[in-house]
Amino acid sequence: MNTTTAAIVVLAIHPIANAGKLLALAEVELVIDGVSLLIHGVQVRADGEKTEVSLPRYRAPDGTWKTSITLPAEVRDPMGDVVMEAGIEAGILKKRNL
Protein backbone atom coordinates (compact mmCIF):
# COMPACT_ATOMS: atom_id res chain seq x y z
CA MET A 1 0.00 0.00 0.00
CA ASN A 2 1.40 3.39 -1.01
CA THR A 3 1.11 6.32 1.36
CA THR A 4 1.59 10.02 0.89
CA THR A 5 1.53 13.06 3.09
CA ALA A 6 -0.85 15.97 2.86
CA ALA A 7 -0.40 19.51 4.13
CA ILE A 8 -3.50 21.33 5.35
CA VAL A 9 -3.41 25.10 5.84
CA VAL A 10 -6.25 27.46 6.73
CA LEU A 11 -5.59 30.50 4.54
CA ALA A 12 -8.39 32.57 6.10
CA ILE A 13 -11.30 32.17 8.47
CA HIS A 14 -14.07 34.76 8.49
CA PRO A 15 -16.66 35.08 11.26
CA ILE A 16 -20.25 35.27 10.03
CA ALA A 17 -22.73 37.31 12.08
CA ASN A 18 -26.45 36.65 12.37
CA ALA A 19 -26.45 33.42 10.36
CA GLY A 20 -27.98 30.99 12.85
CA LYS A 21 -25.73 27.99 13.45
CA LEU A 22 -23.15 29.18 10.89
CA LEU A 23 -20.30 30.83 12.82
CA ALA A 24 -17.57 31.16 10.20
CA LEU A 25 -16.41 30.35 6.67
CA ALA A 26 -12.86 29.20 6.00
CA GLU A 27 -10.59 28.97 3.00
CA VAL A 28 -8.42 25.86 3.16
CA GLU A 29 -5.46 24.75 1.06
CA LEU A 30 -4.77 21.02 0.76
CA VAL A 31 -1.45 20.02 -0.77
CA ILE A 32 -1.38 16.35 -1.74
CA ASP A 33 1.63 14.99 -3.61
CA GLY A 34 2.61 18.55 -4.51
CA VAL A 35 -0.81 19.36 -5.98
CA SER A 36 -2.54 22.31 -4.31
CA LEU A 37 -6.32 22.29 -3.92
CA LEU A 38 -8.14 25.37 -2.60
CA ILE A 39 -11.46 24.81 -0.88
CA HIS A 40 -13.54 27.94 -0.35
CA GLY A 41 -16.59 28.05 1.88
CA VAL A 42 -15.67 25.45 4.50
CA GLN A 43 -18.35 25.96 7.15
CA VAL A 44 -17.93 26.12 10.91
CA ARG A 45 -21.31 25.42 12.52
CA ALA A 46 -22.36 25.18 16.16
CA ASP A 47 -25.41 24.66 18.29
CA GLY A 48 -25.71 24.25 22.04
CA GLU A 49 -24.28 20.73 21.96
CA LYS A 50 -21.60 20.50 19.30
CA THR A 51 -19.38 22.37 16.89
CA GLU A 52 -18.62 20.88 13.49
CA VAL A 53 -16.78 21.64 10.29
CA SER A 54 -18.67 20.99 7.05
CA LEU A 55 -17.50 20.98 3.48
CA PRO A 56 -19.06 23.56 1.13
CA ARG A 57 -22.56 22.79 -0.16
CA TYR A 58 -24.73 23.74 -3.12
CA ARG A 59 -28.44 23.52 -3.84
CA ALA A 60 -29.14 20.78 -6.41
CA PRO A 61 -31.83 21.20 -9.09
CA ASP A 62 -34.25 19.18 -6.96
CA GLY A 63 -33.86 21.69 -4.11
CA THR A 64 -31.78 19.49 -1.80
CA TRP A 65 -28.41 20.55 -0.40
CA LYS A 66 -25.41 18.49 -1.56
CA THR A 67 -21.75 18.54 -0.56
CA SER A 68 -19.67 20.28 -3.24
CA ILE A 69 -16.59 18.12 -2.75
CA THR A 70 -16.13 14.63 -1.34
CA LEU A 71 -13.01 13.95 0.68
CA PRO A 72 -12.01 10.67 2.32
CA ALA A 73 -12.10 10.63 6.12
CA GLU A 74 -8.28 10.44 6.15
CA VAL A 75 -8.23 14.00 4.75
CA ARG A 76 -11.59 15.39 5.92
CA ASP A 77 -11.12 14.67 9.63
CA PRO A 78 -7.64 16.26 9.98
CA MET A 79 -8.87 19.22 7.90
CA GLY A 80 -11.70 19.69 10.39
CA ASP A 81 -9.23 19.66 13.27
CA VAL A 82 -7.05 22.30 11.58
CA VAL A 83 -10.07 24.53 10.86
CA MET A 84 -11.26 24.21 14.48
CA GLU A 85 -7.80 25.23 15.74
CA ALA A 86 -7.82 28.23 13.38
CA GLY A 87 -11.24 29.20 14.74
CA ILE A 88 -9.91 29.03 18.31
CA GLU A 89 -6.81 31.08 17.41
CA ALA A 90 -9.02 33.68 15.69
CA GLY A 91 -11.25 33.95 18.76
CA ILE A 92 -14.30 32.68 16.87
CA LEU A 93 -14.43 29.44 18.89
CA LYS A 94 -13.57 28.61 22.47
CA LYS A 95 -11.61 25.55 23.52
CA ARG A 96 -13.89 23.15 25.35
CA ASN A 97 -12.71 21.90 28.72
CA LEU A 98 -13.54 18.22 29.12
Top CATH class of 6-89 equals: alpha beta
Query: Which residues in the chain show pLDDT less than 70?
Result: 98
Residue by residue, DSSP assigns 30-42 as: EEETTEEEEEEEE
Give the model's pLDDT for residue 47.
86
pTM for this entry: 0.89
Give the model's pLDDT for residue 4.
82
Give the model's pLDDT for residue 98.
60
Give the model's pLDDT for residue 71.
93
The CA distances from residue 40 to 11, 19, 47, 50, 93, in Å, are 10, 18, 22, 23, 19
Give the model's pLDDT for residue 44.
96
Residue 49's Cβ-count burial label (10 Å; 0-12, 13-18, 19+) is: exposed
